Amino acid sequence: MELKQQIRINAPRARVFAALNDPALLLQAIPGCEALTEQEPGKFEATVAAKVGPLSAKFKGHMQVEDLNPPASYTLVGEGKAGPAGHAKVRASVRLEEDGAGTLLHYEVKADVGGKLGQLGGSLIDRTAQKLAGEFFQRFEPLIALDGDAPAADTPTATAVAAATPAAKQTWGAWYFMAAVALALAAWVLLR
């Protein structure tokens, strides 16, 4: 399975890089992640539950960061076993590029899936990987924003997702205020 995409994150590059290597944040961002602990710097153990087509799988595995080059790039290499459902080996190359006040995140993921999961068909695995990646970034962005300074006001999507994410922490008050301001501005623009 190969996945190559880029996404823009509304946060400075250094913050994005730090967040991507923060196990506490990753635990919340990775869909289905039930446990994620850092054994040593750059080496993680994780348990992630995922559903691929008709198969539910609970992956237990380890990952490690290689070629750490902050704040520009790193590689994540991991492998996990999902019991009777199969196994997977993943290699993800991540590259961060400054884009104004935000960051352009390029990622390239290569995975070898084996066992019953591997037999579901490449297209199903690709679609699932895309879906999971999308979910990851949907959770990830607001989490970075919450961590520290508030972002710029024109992030209505971030606002909406933050409200939905149960793991979002602190400063709810600030968020409700920003949401109210944003809605008021929008209403003003539309009704003019």
Partner 1 sequence: MEQQLKANKQWMGARMERKEDLRLVTGQGKYLADIVLPGMLHAVFVRSEYAHAKILGIDTSAALELPGVIAVLTGEDFRTEVKSMRQPVLLPNLPAAYPEYYALAVDKVKYHGDPVAVVIARDKYTAEDAAELVMVDYEELPVILDAEAALEPGAPQVHDDQPGNEMFAMTFTGGATEEEQRANEAAVEQIFKTADVVVSNRFRVHRTGITPMEPRGVLCDWTMADGLTAWITTQRPHIDRLALIDILDIPGEKVRVIAPRDQGGGFGVKAPFFRENVVIAHAARKLGKPVRWIESRYESLMSVGQERDQVNTLDVAATKEGKLLAIRNRGVANNGTGQTGVYWGFVMPFLGQVEMPNVYTWEKGDIKLRVASTNKACLTPSRAFGHFPTRFAVERSIDMVARKVGMEPAVLRRKNMVPQLPYTTVTGEYYDSGDFLKVWDNLLTHIDLPAFRREQAALREQGRYIGIGFACGAELSGVASELLVPMENQPGYGAATVRVDPRGKVLIFGGDAPGGQGHETTVAQVVASTFGIDPKDSVVTTGDTGATPFGAGTIGARAGSYFVSAVHKACADLKEKITHVLAHDLGIRATVEEFSFINGEVIYLRDPSKKKPFREIVERIIMFPVNLPEGEVGGLEATAFFEAAKPMICFNGDFCVVEVDIKTAEFKIKRWVTSEDVGNVINQNIVDGQMHGAIVQGLSNAVYEEFIYNEQGQQLTADFENYKLATAADVPDIELSYASTPCPHTPLGTRGIGEGRPSSVPGALSNAICDALAPFGIEITELPLRPSSLWTKIKAAQG
Which residues bind to partner 1, rule: CB under 8 A?
A: 83-84, 86-87, 112-116, 118-119, 121
Which residue do the tokens 């909406």 mark? 160
Q: Which long-range contacts (CB under 8 A, 24 or more apart) does 174-181 make?
A: 174/150, 178/150, 178/153, 181/153
Closest contact distance (angstroms) between CB of 184 and partner 1 is: 54
- In the complex with partner 1, the residue whose CB is nearer, 70 or 114, is 114
- In the complex with partner 1, the residue whose CB is nearer, 49 or 153, is 49
Q: End-to-end CA distance of the chain, in Å?
A: 50
Closest contact distance (angstroms) between CB of 49 and partner 1 is: 15
Backbone φ and ψ for 36, nearest 5 degrees, come out as -150, 115
Q: Can you tell me whether residue 192 is helix, strand or coil?
A: coil
- In the complex with partner 1, the residue whose CB is nearer, 78 or 142, is 78
- In the complex with partner 1, the residue whose CB is nearer, 94 or 111, is 111
- In the complex with partner 1, the residue whose CB is nearer, 122 or 148, is 122
Which H or E run contains 73? strand 73-81
Closest contact distance (angstroms) between CB of 64 and partner 1 is: 18
- In the complex with partner 1, the residue whose CB is nearer, 45 or 97, is 45
Closest contact distance (angstroms) between CB of 109 and partner 1 is: 17
Closest contact distance (angstroms) between CB of 89 and partner 1 is: 9
Closest contact distance (angstroms) between CB of 121 and partner 1 is: 7
Which residue do the tokens 């929008």 mark? 186
User: How would DSSP label each residue in 44-62?
Assistant: EEEEEEEEETTEEEEEEEE
d(C-alpha 106, C-alpha 16), whole Å: 12
3-state helix, strand, coil in the chain (%, to 5): 40, 40, 20
